[in-house]
Amino acid sequence: MSYASIDALQKTLSSTVFKDRKDQKKASGRALGTIVEIITFYTLRSWGFRNSLAIERPLPEYKNPDITHNVEYSIHPIIETIPTCIPKVKLPLSASKIRKALWDKEREKDDGGKSNQLLSSENILRNSCVIAETKAGDPHVAHLDSFTGDVATISVSLLHRHPFAIFECKRVGVEEGMKKGPQTIEKAKQGAYVARTVSSLQKVRLKGEELYGLIQPQTGPLICEPYDSLIEKIISSTTADLLRDFVLTVGVVSNHGNWFTSENHNKELKVLAQSYDWLLFLTDKGLSDFITELLLNPARDLEPAKKAFLASYTGDEGRNRFTKVQMDADADRVLVKYFSDHARRMENWFNIIDPKQKIPRRRTLGQLRNHLSALSRKNWKEIHKS
C-alpha cells in the first residue's frame, strides 16, 4: 500500500502500531524520525562504510576547537583494522573483554577504556561501539562480525578523530493539524550552522549570486573558485593542505506534513540546501515503502526487525532496541541483508536537492557514493602527518 503523504502514514501508524499509546501522534512522529536515521545508517553500511562509521561523535568547528557539535554519523579515515576472535566468551561482550583480548596492560593504560557493551545479555548490539580512545582523541570502534555459540568474531578499527564526511538527518515541515512549525526552522538553522562551520572549505556568495568556495592552503594564496568545481578539485586531489581539514557535509531530510516536495521547497529546505554540500530528500514513497515492508505488511524474513521495533515502543523505559545506536542483533542481521538485497531500488528512495541556480546541477546518489569512496582511499596517514 502506498500513502499520499507522510501525514497519512503517520495516522496509520497512530491507529495501528501505536493505538494503545496515550499520545499516539507524538509516538508515531518520533518513530518516523528514528526510521529516517535507521535508513541512513544501513544505507551507509550497504555502501561499505561500516568500519569507518562513528555515531554521535563531537566534531570541532574549523579553527575554533572550543566549540564542538555532535553529528549523527561521521565517516573517518581508518588508521588500522584488527580482526580478532574471542573464544569462550560469555555475554555481555563488553569493551573491557575486547580490550583484554587485543592488548596488554600497558596498551590499555595508554588508550583510555570505555564501558560500552558491543553485545548485551539481552542480545542488543551497539552499532559503532567505541571501546577506547587514544590520548589524541582517536576512537577504537568495534563491530561484531559473528557470534556463534560462545565464539565472537569482531573487527576493531582505529579511526582518525577528524572525519572526512558527516551525515545528519532532519525532519522538516509542519505537523498535521498545525498551521506553522516554529521548531523545524530552528532545527534547520542549527543543522545549517554546523554544516557551514566544520569544514576548511568555506562558502562565499558573490554579488552576482554565484556560490564560490574559499580554502586556505598552509602556504600560498587563498583559493577561491566556483563551489562545485572546487569540491571536485579537493576530492580528486592528493594535496594534504586541501584535504586535511576538509569535511564533506551531507544532510538527509524527510517530510513532516505535506508541505513540500523535492521540487517545491519550503523555507527549511532552502536553508539546508544552501548549507550542506549534498542534501538528500528521502521521499514519502521511500519512507512509506520501508515502513510497510517492515511493520505493516512485513515479509517473514523481516519479522525480527518488526519485533524489535514493537518491543521498543511499549511505553516502558529502558527497552529500546531499535535505534541508530542500539539495535536488536537479530534485527540487525535481517536489516543488513534487506538493504544489501534492495540496494538499487533504495537509491530511488532519495532525491538530490540543489539550491536553485542558473545552471541546475544534475547529480546522482552514485556520484555521492563515489565522492565518499574517493575520500576513503586517500593516504590519510601521510595527510595528517604533515
**Are 155 and 185 in the same domain?**
no
**Are 35 and 99 in the same domain?**
no
State the amino acid at position 383 in one-letter form: I
- Render pLDDT for 22-36 as a digit per residue (tens, 0 to 9): 667 777 777 888 999
- Domain assignment of residue 70, yes or no: no
pLDDT band at 361 (very low <50, low <70, confident <90, very high): low
Q: Which of 159, 186, 220 is the last residue of a domain?
A: 159
CA gap 162, 60 in Å, rounded: 9
The dihedral over CA atoms of 177, 36, 21, 9, expressed in degrees to the nearest 10, equals 50
- Domain assignment of residue 327, yes or no: no
Q: Give the mean pLDDT of 121-146.
A: 95
**Are 149 and 88 in the same domain?**
yes
Q: Give the mean pLDDT of 113-127.
A: 94
Segments forming the whole domain that contains residue 142: 78-159
Asked if 271 and 188 touch (Cβ cutoff 8 Å), the reply is: yes
Residues 6 or more apart whose Cβ sits within 8 Å of residue 260: 173, 266, 269
CA gap 385, 101 in Å, rounded: 29
Which carries the bigger pLDDT value, residue 140 or residue 13? 140
State the amino acid at position 308 in one-letter form: A
Cα 212-365-301 angle, rounded to 5 deg: 150
Q: How many domains does the chain have?
A: 2
Which carries the bigger pLDDT value, residue 226 or residue 26? 226
DSSP 79-98: EEEEEEEE-SPPSSEEHHHH
Mean pLDDT of the chain: 86
**Are 263 and 192 in the same domain?**
yes
**Are 152 and 212 in the same domain?**
no
Task: Identify which of 3-12, 102-111, 115-124, 270-279 has the greatest average pLDDT.
Answer: 115-124
Cα 44-47-52 angle, rounded to 5 deg: 65
Rg of the chain in Å (alpha carbons)? 22
**Are 252 and 376 in the same domain?**
yes
Q: Give the mean pLDDT of 47-59.
A: 97
CA gap 384, 137 in Å, rounded: 14
- Domain assignment of residue 121, yes or no: yes
What pLDDT, on the 0 to 100 scale, is given for residue 41?
97
- Identify the burial level of 31 via C-beta atoms within 10 angstroms of its C-beta, where 0-12 means exposed, 13-18 middle and 19 or more buried: buried
Q: Which of 111, 142, 159 is the last residue of a domain?
A: 159
Q: Is 118 left (phi over 0), alpha (psi -120 to 50) or beta?
A: alpha
Asked if 148 and 65 touch (Cβ cutoff 8 Å), the reply is: no
Which carries the bigger pLDDT value, residue 106 or residue 376? 376
- Domain assignment of residue 358, yes or no: yes
- Domain assignment of residue 67, yes or no: no
Asked if 25 and 12 touch (Cβ cutoff 8 Å), the reply is: no
Q: Which of 159, 191, 225 is the last residue of a domain?
A: 159
DSSP 150-206: TEEEEEEEEEPSS-SEEEEEEEES--TT-S--HHHHHHHHHHHHHHHHSSS-EEEE-
Task: Identify which of 197-201, 255-259, 290-294 has the greatest average pLDDT.
Answer: 197-201
CA distances in angstroms from 329 to 96, 146, 190, 212, 336, listed in the order given:
20, 10, 33, 46, 11
Up-side HSE of residue 61: CA atoms within 13 Å toward CB?
9
What pLDDT, on the 0 to 100 scale, is given for residue 248?
98
- Domain assignment of residue 71, yes or no: no
**Are 271 and 357 in the same domain?**
yes
What pLDDT, on the 0 to 100 scale, is given for residue 181?
47
- Domain assignment of residue 137, yes or no: yes
Residue whose C-alpha cell reads 537479530 in the numeric block: 330
- Domain assignment of residue 103, yes or no: yes
Asked if 141 and 352 touch (Cβ cutoff 8 Å), the reply is: no
CA gap 71, 37 in Å, rounded: 12
Q: Looking at the chain, how many residues does it have?
A: 386
**Are 38 and 169 in the same domain?**
yes
Coil/strand/helix, residue 1? coil
**Are 224 and 373 in the same domain?**
yes
**Are 274 and 355 in the same domain?**
yes
**Are 174 and 218 in the same domain?**
yes
**pTM reported for the whole predicted model:** 0.92
CA gap 23, 80 in Å, rounded: 47
**Are 47 and 125 in the same domain?**
no
